[in-house]
Amino acid sequence: ADDAESDAAYAAACAVPGAGEWVFDMARLRLLHGTALRRRGRRAEAVETLHAALRAFQGLGAEPWVEQCRAGLREADRTPNAAPVQACGLTAQELRVARLVSTGLTNKEAGAALQLSPRTIGAHLYRIFPKLGVTSRAALAGALPES
C-alpha cells in the first residue's frame, strides 16, 4: 500500500468504536505503523507512534513487545528526517534550534548545546524566520508551537 492508503487504514483502525479496549492489538498496530513510518523517513511521527506502543506494552507487561518497540526507537534515532514534521513547517532540527534561540541563547551557545557550529545555527535561523513569518529572534518564542 502507498503512504496515503497506509495512513488512512491506520486512522480508520484507530477510529473504530471500542478500539481502545483492545490494548494489545492497538499496541501491535502502533508498533507496525511506527515501523512503517520510520522506513518511509517520517522519523518524528514514527517516534511518537512507537512511544505510544511502548507505553501500552509496558502497561501490559509484554516484555518481548517492549523490546521490539525499543529496537524500533533505536533504529529511528539513526533515521534522518525526510521532510518537515511540524505543523509550522519546521524540521525537527529547526524546531530544536528555534526553541534554544528563543530562550535568548546566542548562535554560539545554541551551537554548543546541539553540537553544531554557530554558522550552521545561523543558516537554520535563515530558513526558520520566513517559515514562521518572523523577522527577529525576539519574535521566535511567540511564533513557536507549544511543545
Digit-coded pLDDT (tens) for 88-106: 678 888 888 998 999 999 9
Domain 92-143: assigned CATH number: 1.10.10.10
Q: Where in the chain is the domain with CATH 1.10.10.10?
A: 92-143
Distance CA 56, CA 42 (A): 22
Query: What integer pLDDT is reported at residue 32 of this predicted model?
Result: 93
Burial class (CB in 10 A: 0-12, 13-18, 19+), 11: exposed
Query: What integer pLDDT is reported at residue 58 of this predicted model?
Result: 92
Q: What is the per-residue burial (b if ≥16 Cβ within 10 Å, else e) of 64-96? A: ebbebbeebbeebeebebeeebeeeebbeebbb
- What pTM, to 2 d.p., does this model score? 0.53
Positive or negative CA dihedral for 64, 70, 71, 76? positive
Query: What integer pLDDT is reported at residue 97 of this predicted model?
Result: 92
Q: Residue 80 — very low, low, confident or very high, per pLDDT cuts 50/70/90?
A: low
Query: What integer pLDDT is reported at residue 46 of this predicted model?
Result: 86
Query: What integer pLDDT is reported at residue 84 of this predicted model?
Result: 44
